[in-house]
Amino acid sequence: MSGQSVYLDYAATTPVDPRVSERMSACMTMGGVFGNPASLQHDYGRTAHEAVEQARSAVAELIGAEPAEIVWTSGATESSNLALKGVAEAYADRGRHIITMKTEHKSVVDCCRYLEQKGWRVTWLPVATDGRLNPEDLEQAIADDTVLVSVMMVNNETGVVQDIETISHMTRERDVLFHVDAAQAAGKIPIDVNRQGIDLLSLSAHKLYGPKGIGALYVRRQPRVRVAAQIHGGGHERGMRSGTLPVHQIVGMGEACRLAGELMNDEAGRVSRLRDRLWEALSELPDVLRNGSAEHCVAGILNVSIAGVDGEALHAGLSGLKTPVAISSGSACTAASQESSYVLRALGRDDELAYASVRFSLGRWTTEDEIDQVAFAVTALVNALRRRSPKWLQPVEASEPAMAARHSQFSDEVWRYYSESLHHSGRGKEMDKEGLVVECGTPGSRAVLRLAVQMDAERITAADFQSYGCVSALAVGAWLCDRLQDQRLSEISISSAEIESALGLAPIKRHCALLAEDALGMLKEQWSLNLSDTDQRAAS
């Protein structure tokens, strides 16, 4: 897989910059800086301590902080846990009200939920359709018992940048602490904790070409912000976060931050030109909607919703292209709980559009060639899916997306019929002309199957279908059409169990087989109705 697929998932994680991994490698073995930075009695420890402090300065410099204000953690998730729970605990006597946004990263959302269970009051602010917070909503939400406002700088799904300074004016005025999740902002846009009035700030190394498993929390010293430790043992990091410091990780994060500061301007320019190029190409397709503000957005992220196609069919198609695109739906949606992105729904997208969304995230090694290749492949795939979709009514050019022969997530049969259906998408060829057309769907039309056949007396001479739904829904339609070809309608009987076993459908896809069984039943019914019509006409 790796090596040939185009990586456009930099917002999920970035590869480590070779300059970073080189520095890290020098911190592990006997000849290197492997010592425990707390063992100041000997050289090994002292050298490690120096390396850690140098990295601390590099991280501080990237955000305009003092080195002493940086606390090492395992990543932004832990940083935000420490910030939110730590502040809640330390300031519980002052008040038990926290304000945050509906579109925060899960690490902040889940901390707030946890605190809610422990008796804190949490206000979840909405965002406008462009993904930005309305400062007036915040102003109204701040109460006498508010201790903390937590607003992310850059959203991980949409790339939308919040107006941090306007928010901090309000928190300062009302004497409320301000935490910012900057995991997606650091190294992409300038950060200055003093100018921007930030009290606590979460960082993660693996979003800016550093290693996974290391992050930092900035904790303001003047005026001093108190944070109750959440991990105890040894009193490292001024008592806020215990545990032996992982020197190689820390040195990696330091080098990544140093590089980010050096490269940020040029990189943001180059990456945003590539992002705009991708958007220009994709927006040639009708009804491709950009999610979130285009103006207030980091360089590397483009999030779009594609009308008329199902999210799973789209994502499976993208990962099953001959040259696959490694992207993310932007939401952590699992096959089991097909839940669409809560972030996109907060921006006002309906469930279908939120589900049929793609987050392209570009970065340091993305090339123009890759962008052109992806734009071309995505366009072909969307066209092919739309030609098959009963929910897409506009004309679509014929397209032949180049699909891979196999896909590890699906049975060979499901994948074969799905990709074939995209190749011979004969929309309109048979449909709606003379012949029989039936349509059935699951409740709420999550999946729709439309079947059309042409008959010569009782023999089916041609069968075609349209389908909106997952990969299996498309595969089932294609399989059924194959199976119906040249058959006598009255003699066919196909059960959903037969369809399931023929295609090797997973049990959670049973509804697709039932849909096909229904469609066939309706077709027979329609046929007999037509027959009796003809009989009656003949009789009269």
Ligand X SMILES: *Cc1c(COP(=O)(O)O)cnc(C)c1O
Interacting residues toward ligand X by CB under 6 A: 75-77, 105, 107, 152, 156, 181, 183-184, 204, 206-207, 215
- d(Cα 416, Cα 420) in Å, to the nearest integer? 6
The pair of three-digit structure tokens given for residue 136, joined into one six-digit string: 């007036």
Instruction: Judge contact between 91 and 177, C-beta under 8 A.
Output: yes
**Nearer to ligand X by C-beta: 204 or 305?**
204
Q: Where are the beta strands (DSSP E) in 374-513?
A: 436-441, 448-456, 459-468
* Pick from 300, 408, 288: nearest CA to 357: 288
- d(Cα 245, Cα 257) in Å, to the nearest integer? 18
Residue whose C-beta lies closest to ligand X = 75
**Nearer to ligand X by C-beta: 152 or 396?**
152
The pair phi, psi for residue 306, each rounded to 5°, is: -115, 110
Shortest separation between residue 156's beta carbon and ligand X, angstroms: 3
CA 484, chain centre distance (Å):
39
- Compute how many other C-beta atoms are within 10 angstroms of the C-beta atom of residue 264: 18
* Pick from 261, 205, 245: nearest CA to 79: 205
Q: Hey, CA dihedral for 403, 406, 408, 413, is it positive or negative?
A: positive
**Nearer to ligand X by C-beta: 80 or 425?**
80
- d(Cα 72, Cα 285) in Å, to the nearest integer? 46
Shortest separation between residue 243's beta carbon and ligand X, angstroms: 16
Instruction: Judge contact between 341 and 331, C-beta under 8 A.
Output: yes
The pair phi, psi for residue 161, each rounded to 5°, is: -100, 130
**Nearer to ligand X by C-beta: 65 or 186?**
186
Shortest separation between residue 336's beta carbon and ligand X, angstroms: 23
The pair phi, psi for residue 38, each rounded to 5°, is: -90, -10
Residue 148 DSSP label:
E
Residue 328 DSSP label:
B
Shortest separation between residue 488's beta carbon and ligand X, angstroms: 58
**Nearer to ligand X by C-beta: 207 or 387?**
207
Spot the catalytic one: 27, 257, 297, 333: 333
Shortest separation between residue 214's beta carbon and ligand X, angstroms: 8
Residue 110 DSSP label:
H
**Nearer to ligand X by C-beta: 184 or 383?**
184
Instruction: Judge contact between 189 and 268, C-beta under 8 A.
Output: yes
481 is catalytic: no
- d(Cα 206, Cα 192) in Å, to the nearest integer? 20
**Nearer to ligand X by C-beta: 27 or 201?**
201
Q: Cα angle at 391 between 390 and 395, to 5 degrees?
A: 80
Shortest separation between residue 183's beta carbon and ligand X, angstroms: 3
**Nearer to ligand X by C-beta: 109 or 138?**
109
**Nearer to ligand X by C-beta: 188 or 509?**
188
Kindly list the distances between the CA atom of residue 243 and the CA atoms of 44, 88, 290, 463, in Å, as whole numbers in the listed order: 18, 22, 44, 66
- d(Cα 69, Cα 67) in Å, to the nearest integer? 5
- d(Cα 469, Cα 463) in Å, to the nearest integer? 19
Shortest separation between residue 32's beta carbon and ligand X, angstroms: 25
Q: Cα angle at 163 between 158 and 169, to 5 degrees?
A: 150
Shortest separation between residue 271's beta carbon and ligand X, angstroms: 16
- d(Cα 309, Cα 317) in Å, to the nearest integer? 11
The pair phi, psi for residue 336, each rounded to 5°, is: -70, -50
Shortest separation between residue 215's beta carbon and ligand X, angstroms: 5
Residue 297 DSSP label:
B
The residues that are catalytic are: 333
